[in-house]
Amino acid sequence: MSTARERFAGGTAVITGAGSGVGAGLARYAASIGMRVVVTDVDADRARIVAGDIVAQGLEAEAQILDVTDAEAFDKLATDVYERYGSVELLINNAGLETAGVLWEIPVQRWRQVMKVNVDGVFHGIRAFLPKMIAAGTPATVANMSSVGGVLTQALQTPYIVSKHAVVALTESLHQEVALTGAPIQVTVLLPYSVRSRIFVDAQAAAPSGNAAADQMFDVLHTLGETAGMDPIDAAENMFADIAAGEFWGFTDKAFGLGALGHRAETLSERRAPAPPMSF
């Protein structure tokens, strides 16, 4: 079984939403094992800070501004990266948004925004890069960021949960379609759990829910993440280990992730109603 360094050193990684949180951890870890990293984010300052920190360590990285909801921008990025580097060994479609509130109070614009970033953004990345990977005919990997929420459910986070279930289904189907091509391309879905990030803070700043229970839940989740959540680089190392091992399912916390899959399987096989909502 190859290590992440053995598998990817010398290759190029493109990571979306890499300006903070899990994405920044993935970018920093990819660089640490010898990859050239294209750090993309819609926030130019965040992308430049992460790329600059990597370069300051004598490693290879560059920052690129990318709105993953813009298919044309994704196409231009893919063309540019291939023209300059010749190949991409790893694409991680990581960019994502959270939001809180009861479903019937979610603004239509916010619902659409979450779906455009979390689902359409993955589609745009695949559409831009995968044909070039197939044409190259060399080993490559596409990893799509879901969440343990992609196999579980949770009240007051419905748009996010729906989007992450969609990413799991998309990635499972993509795995089957890539197999039809015979190309040496691995497809992996990533299911992180409790990693330190700004996702809850950013969500509250961008779209205040106006719902006391939802706001309290996000405050609790953010605090738990800051006090007990995994360091993003440690989380990245765990996910890279699963990718390097050729796994379809990648986890930050394998025991929790496998438990989430088992819980979902039992819920479906036993036709259980959803569990009672958590209290906050």
- Catalytically active residues are 160
DSSP 120: I
Tell me the DSSP string of 213-258.
HHHHHHHHHHHHHHHHSBPHHHHHHHHHHHHHTT-SEEESSHHHHH
Question: Within the chain, how many helices (H) and strands (E) appear?
Answer: 11, 7
Q: Determine the Cα–Cα distance for residues 238 and 249; give it in Å rounded to an integer.
A: 12
Sequence-separated (6 or more) residues with CB below 8 Å from residue 226:
196
Closest CA to 16 of 108, 143, 135, 110: 143
Q: Which amino acid is at 123?
A: F
Closest CA to 131 of 118, 143, 142: 142
